[in-house]
Structures are given as C-alpha cells and as structure tokens.
Amino acid sequence: MTLRAEILAVGSELLTPLRSDTNALYLTERLRELGVEVGSRVTVADDPALLESAFRAALARADIVIATGGLGPTEDDLTREAAAAALGRGLHRDPRLLEMLKERFRRYRREMAPVNEKQADVIEGAIVLPNPRGTAPGQRVESGERVLILLPGPPAEMEPMFQEQVGPLIGERAGGSVLRTRVLKIASMSESDVEQAVAPVYKTFTNPRTTILGGPGQVELHLTASGASGAEAEARIEALATGLRERLPGRIYGEDGRELPEVVADLLRSRGLTLALAESCTGGLLSARLTDVPGASRFLERAYVTYSNRAKAELLGVEAALLDSVGAVSAEVAAAMAAGVRRAAGSAIGVGITGIAGPDGGSPEKPVGLVFLALDGAAGTRVRQAHFPGGRERVRYQASQAALEMIRRGLLGLASW
Amino acid sequence: MTLRAEILAVGSELLTPLRSDTNALYLTERLRELGVEVGSRVTVADDPALLESAFRAALARADIVIATGGLGPTEDDLTREAAAAALGRGLHRDPRLLEMLKERFRRYRREMAPVNEKQADVIEGAIVLPNPRGTAPGQRVESGERVLILLPGPPAEMEPMFQEQVGPLIGERAGGSVLRTRVLKIASMSESDVEQAVAPVYKTFTNPRTTILGGPGQVELHLTASGASGAEAEARIEALATGLRERLPGRIYGEDGRELPEVVADLLRSRGLTLALAESCTGGLLSARLTDVPGASRFLERAYVTYSNRAKAELLGVEAALLDSVGAVSAEVAAAMAAGVRRAAGSAIGVGITGIAGPDGGSPEKPVGLVFLALDGAAGTRVRQAHFPGGRERVRYQASQAALEMIRRGLLGLASW
C-alpha cells in the first residue's frame, strides 16, 4: 500500500501574495521519489488554534506528516506547542539541547537571549533531529502507525536535514519502491504535433507514466517510472525513451537537464566553431540567452541588434534596393543579415532574425508574429518562415528558440525542418 | 473583528511538482484587498475521504471557505459530494440547471454525455453561482455564521466569477474595510541602505504597514493601508509615501507598476531621444530588456554585443593601445565603448558596459563581478565602477539594472550616484 503524506508549511508570511512556499514543492518531489504520495499540502498562519487544528487534521488522515517552519525563538514560532497539543503530549526543555544552543552562541561570541531557550523544548517521546546549519533543531515523533516530523523553515537548513535524516527513514517505511523522472525536451514543435507523434508509444506503457508539458517554443515529455531500485526505474524509463526517440527522430534536443542554449553552446565549443548574430525583432534576446552560458565569449564573436534600416545597411551590407523592394521583414533580408554578420565577424556561422514582434507594426500581408530566420554557414544558407502566436514577449521568445533549434539542426546536419 | 478565510485548492494535479496553484495566490490577494485575512491555504488530492476531512477542518476554523476545482464531470471531480458530506447535507439534481447544461451542449452542437449530468447537482440550501464561461456552475452555502463557496478550477472561469459574484458579497460581510497596496521601486541600491534610509519614517506608521523586499538590482517598498474606503486607504499610503520620497530623493523610480525598462523607455520617447548600446559582459541582456518594451524601435537605433577586442576596435573605435594598457575591463574602455557606439549610431546617448560576469575570467585585481558602466551624451560622460555579488546570471542582471538606472539618472539630470 502506498504511504500517504501531508505537508504543513507554517508561517503567516507564506500567506502574503509576495511569498511562495518552495519547501512544499521540494518535499513533494522528494517524497514522490521515495514512492510516497502527497495527499494534501497546507499552509497555515502563525496562530495557535489554527495550527493545532491543522496538525490534528493532518494526523487524522496521513501516515507521514512533515511540518516546516515555526521552530525559531520568537513569539510567532508556535509549531512545537501546536504539535504537542494536537498529539495530546507535553513539552519538556532538554538540558543537553539547551547546552548545545548556548555553546553555539558562544562559538559566534554572542550572548544568548533567554527567548532562545524555547528552541530546546522537545515533545514528549520525540527524537531530536540535529540542525548543524542553524539554531532550531527538528523533531521526529512516532504516534501509533503515524510519524510526525518537524523541520526548520530555511531551505538551506531544511533540505540537508531531510536528505540526511528524514529521507532514508521514509524510504525504508515506504518499502524501498523508488520513483525516477526523466525529462525529454523538444524545441519549436507544437504540443499537439508532439502528442500525435508519441501517443501510440507512450500510451502502451503504464510504468513509466508520461506527462506532456507544453510552453512557448518548447515541449517536454516527463517520464516517471517506479521500481524496486533506482536502476530498475531507470531501465523502465530507457525502454520508453527508446521508443519515443524513434517517433521523433532528431527532435529531442536533450534528456540530461540542459536547456537549448547550453546544448547549442556545447556543440559550438566542442567543434571549435564561432557564431555571430544579427537580430532585429528579438532585440538581443538570442544573444542574451546564449551568453548566459558560461564561457560564451569563446564562440560568440559579436552580435548586432539592427532595428533601423540604416544599421542593417551599414553593419550588415543589406542593400537599400533589397529593403525597398521586399521590405525589412522578408526571407531575403533575413538571409542577407545572416550572410552579412558572418562576413563582418569572420565567423563560421551567421544568424539573421527579422520579424514583427508586435503589438504594433503588423499588416494584413505581414501580421504580428511573422518572423524570418536565416542560418548562413559553409554548407550554405537556410531560411525559415514562422508565424508565432501570442504577445510581444512570447513571439520574441519563440523566435529565439526557433533560431537556437535552427543552429542545432544545422550543426548536426539534420534536415532543415 | 477581521474575518478569516481558508482557501481549498482541489486536484491531484496540483500536488505534482509540475504545477503550482495560481488560484490560491489570486484569491489571497483579492481577499486581502477586501480586508479578509487568509488563515490557511490547503491543496488536496482528488480523494473523497481526504476532501471531506479538509472541508470539515476548514469549516471548523474559518468564517469564509472558498474551494476551487473538482466541479467538472469526471469521476475525479468530488468537490460537491465532499462539501455536502462535511456539511451533513444532501445533494439534489437541479432540473433547471440540467436544462441549461443541455442547452449549452446543443448550442455547440455536441451530444451531452450522461456523466455531465452531475454538474447539475446542488448542495441542499445552496445558491447556484452561474458560470457563463464554462459548464461547471459554482455554489454558495450559508451554514450558521459561516459561508462556503465552491468555484471551478480554470482561472478564466473562476476569476470573473469571484470578481462579479463573490467579491462584493464578501466585501459587505467584511464591513466595508478595504486594503490597498502601493509598491515603491528603487534600483541599484542595497536592501540595507534602503532600510537604513527609510526606517525612521515607516516605523512611525502602523497603517500603512511597510514590507521591504530585496532582489537582484532592485528593492521594493510595499505599503499596505486599510481604510473605510479605497480613497481613505490611498490617502494613508500617500502620507507615508511622501515621507519616504524625502528620505530617498530621486531614488524611487516608480510607483505605478512600471518596471525600470519601461520607465527608461517612456523617458526616452517623451523626449524624442535615441539610444545605442555597446555591451560586453551583459551580452545583449540590456538590449533584450529594453526592446521587450513595445515600440522600442523608436528609440533604440542599434546595439552591439562586442565580446572580442577585435569587435570593440572595429565597431566602436576602441584603440588597441588602450585595450593593451588598461585591459578590456576598465573605466577607460567602458567610456570609449559608450562614446564609440554613440558616434557610430549617431544617437543622442551611448552606453558602454564591460566587466567580468564569471564564473571564469576573474583575477585578484579584477575579480568576478567587477563591472564598469559608462553613459555618453551631450552633457558629457559618466562612468561608474561596481562590484556585483552572486553568480553569472545575477551579475549580468544587476549590471543591466545599474545601466538602466544610470540612463534614468542622466535623463533626469540627477546626481551620478
């Protein structure tokens, strides 16, 4: 039987619109990997009655309850008291813990204020979980078949404590079944095209389960498998991934967590090739995304943002007659931009992007979202026309993504589109 | 007395790591504006026992319970049943609602599957909340002093239903006290410097309350005031904001929701001035952020990303002797880049950025994070040296933010730093 967990995030600040609870997301993911299902996730204000009620409800419906936060020294830190009340147990001040707290303050040459003493309060029958990175220790309480775990709120303290002291214990309880997830990434294909291609394969598998996640310019296939061991789960994933690769030849750009700019940067670096960019409607976004990769100066010789026709002519040698006859947003000008920037930079590859990002500047013949992309290299010139949906930001992002995929396909000698 | 609300988000998909619950954030913010405090926020899987327990707990501790999701036609949609069970009431199928559902299907020329009929199930004593944008209607149930509201999950259906049918009712219950928030934004100052400057003022106010939020390159002051009317709350905010402006002369770049690139773009456009950029370590990020503003082509003549010394020399006229003597990362080269790009583009203003974004390329004399920024215009040249903390992405972002603030200060004739 699958164990069920509940996650309790304690703190009024988590209920303001400014903050999101990253601890709950972290714990959801870790518990899933251990084969434990998260049935509910609760965020509670620093209020004694609310907190006690939340602990009571959680202990009534979950096998494992993990609470984060509210273990500090201030008046608002009520997790210990509320958990003890919900369990119907007392709290006692642990003298050894108190000594360790005082020692910690001495080490940092600070006086320990009396208010800190309550951090040494331990629920009857609880096991203390040391917190080497902070002052508030955690606690683990067994209550019949259930287990309650209190952890501090700061992720830098909570995460290693979970990893070292809580995870292994829960894994044992969950009977050793583990989950693994792999993400297959595809750029510049629509979610429905990906779905149509892969559905006949992934629908024949129940383990792994497949989730398709579509975003601007990218589709992700999340494969999640369970197994008696990590290796078994990985083998199940590989079996399905093999089938998916056959259905999407050359389309899956990554399975190792790298994003498209990193994949392209690594290809360029491993081949010792240089790149130069001429961007119009993307306004430097492609350059910014590529140079976010460390060491980008080794392959990116230069980039131009050429909004004006004058800049296109002066810097890229795009002829005025061409601009006049077909307009700046055209396949011809994209190709001339790519060739021009490659020539100016003396780079192995040149890229040109011109289009209409909106919201203004569209026309019936050249609507908002129309983008021309060109790739110029030793093997010749490739041009692609695309029409991206959405507002200015989405159009620009999809255009940069399509350009990256175009470079990747060119470098790997894959068919144009 | 402040009313207390609990938000229940229903749906197993919300407990996977891929999804976050945006409805709860939306409702938290709207309720706060109406003067209602959110005491807890719960996310529950599609499980009848869990759901009923969650409704029971919520109804025991909150004055207002709002649940989103789980109102659709599938087997997993259990919100109606669970809420009825927690209230100890029955469900009945509303014939008028059933007819409306059938009519909706007829309108779209589709056959209504029998499974859809359960969307016409109404809790005893509930008032139906019409959903003109979807098939699942909402419900409102009064139970003693408490009120339970069920809303559909899709934000496009839920948000207008809340706005039109739920918000006004809750506002009335909350006694007409309203909350308003204004955000004052400051670029390129540290959180502690801002705190030190404004603490003597904001600490004398209890209404509005002030929250200071620091991020890379930006500090925000969130002022939240309550009042009998929106105008009263706004007046209280303005009283504090006046004091804060005096403590931070010329530092608050916006109070109307606009981000720094928009503020700079609006200044340039209103003065009819053009801009050209020469970026090294920011690699196009400044250009990408500025051109994300619609209509950027009206003020951005061109931008260069000049990583190589050759590009700096060819495009910007930075002399080889200068590069050799002081190095590419220097005040002199930043100034030469700004002047060079202004000359090449024939623009009113030129900006140059050069620095070490990391993780490689640092030295004891020129460590990672060292950045020189220059602004060149009719009034002369300004150069700033900065040392930004953090990894590559943060260094680059802070450098782009500092450059934008430099342009803003130059345009407004404010002191350099």
What are the pLDDT digits (tens) for B167-196? 988 988 887 778 788 999 999 998 888 989
pLDDT band, residue A105 (cuts 50/70/90): confident
User: Which chain A residue has its CA at the smallest distance from B213's CA?
Assistant: A18
B308 contacts A303? CB cut-off 8 A: no
Query: Does the beta carbon of B345 lie under 8 angstroms from any beta carbon of chain A?
Result: yes
Q: CA–CA separation, B263 vs B256, rounded Å?
A: 10
Mean pLDDT of B87-100: 92
Q: What is each CA distance from A357 to A243, A280, A330, A372, A395, in whole angstroms?
A: 37, 10, 14, 11, 6
Helices (H), strands (E): how many in chain A? 14, 17
Q: Do A306 and B302 touch (CB under 8 A)?
A: yes
Give pLDDT, residue B112. 83
Every domain of chain B and the residues it spans: 4-173, 178-254, 260-412
In this chain, the answer to whether the domains covering B178-254 and B260-412 adopt an identical fold is: no
DSSP H or E segment with residue B375:
strand B370-377
- In B, minimum Cα distance to A40 occurs at B44
Q: Which residue of A has its CA nearest to B277?
A: A305
| Strand B37-44 versus strand B64-68 pairing type | unpaired
Does the beta-carbon distance from B304 to A302 stay under 8 Å? yes
pLDDT band at B18 (very low <50, low <70, confident <90, very high): low
Cβ contact (<8 Å) for A294 and B392?
yes
What are φ and ψ of residue B30, in 5° steps?
-65, -40
Q: How far is B100 from chain A (nearest CA, A)?
A: 32
A224-268 pLDDT, tens digit each = 888 888 899 999 999 999 999 999 999 999 999 899 999 999 999
Confidence of residue A19 (pLDDT cuts 50, 70, 90): low
A39, A301, A302 member nearest B50 (Cβ): A39
Cβ of residue A287 closer than 8 Å to a chain B Cβ: yes
Which CATH number does the domain A178-254 belong to among 3.40.50.800, 3.30.200.20, 3.30.70.2860, 3.40.630.10? 3.30.70.2860
Q: What is the ipTM of this complex?
A: 0.75
Model pLDDT, residue B17? 67
Answer yes or no: do B44 and A40 touch at CB < 8 A: yes
Q: Which of A29, A53, A61 sits opposite B60 (nearest CB)?
A: A53
Per-residue pLDDT of B52-64, as tens digits, reads 999 999 999 999 9
Instruction: Please give the span between the terminal C-alpha atoms of chain B, in angstroms, as a whole number.
Output: 47
Does CATH number 3.90.950.20 belong to domain B260-412? yes
What is the architecture of the domain spanning B4-173?
Answer: 3-Layer(aba) Sandwich (3.40)
Quote the pTM value. Answer: 0.78
Mutation to test the A interface, candidates B14, B182, B220, B305, most A Cβ within 10 Å: B305
Q: For position B367, what pLDDT does the model report?
A: 94
| Contact residues, chain A, for B222 at CB < 8 Å | 18
CB atoms near residue A381 (< 10 Å): 16
Using pLDDT thresholds of 50, 70 and 90, give the confidence band for residue A76.
confident
pLDDT band at B1 (very low <50, low <70, confident <90, very high): low
Enumerate the β-bridge partners of residue B214: B219
Work out the pLDDT band at B209, boundaries 50, 70, 90. confident
What is residue A28's predicted lDDT score, i.e. its pLDDT? 92
Q: What is the pLDDT of residue A391?
A: 87
Euclidean distance between CA atoms A74 and A118, whole angstroms: 9
- Residue-level pLDDT at A417: 61
B393's CB contacts (< 8 A; 6+ apart) are A292
In whole angstroms, what is the distance from residue A372 CA to residue A42 CA? 48
* A chain contacts of residue B78, beta-carbon cutoff 8 Å: none
Residues of chain B with pLDDT > 70: what percent? 99
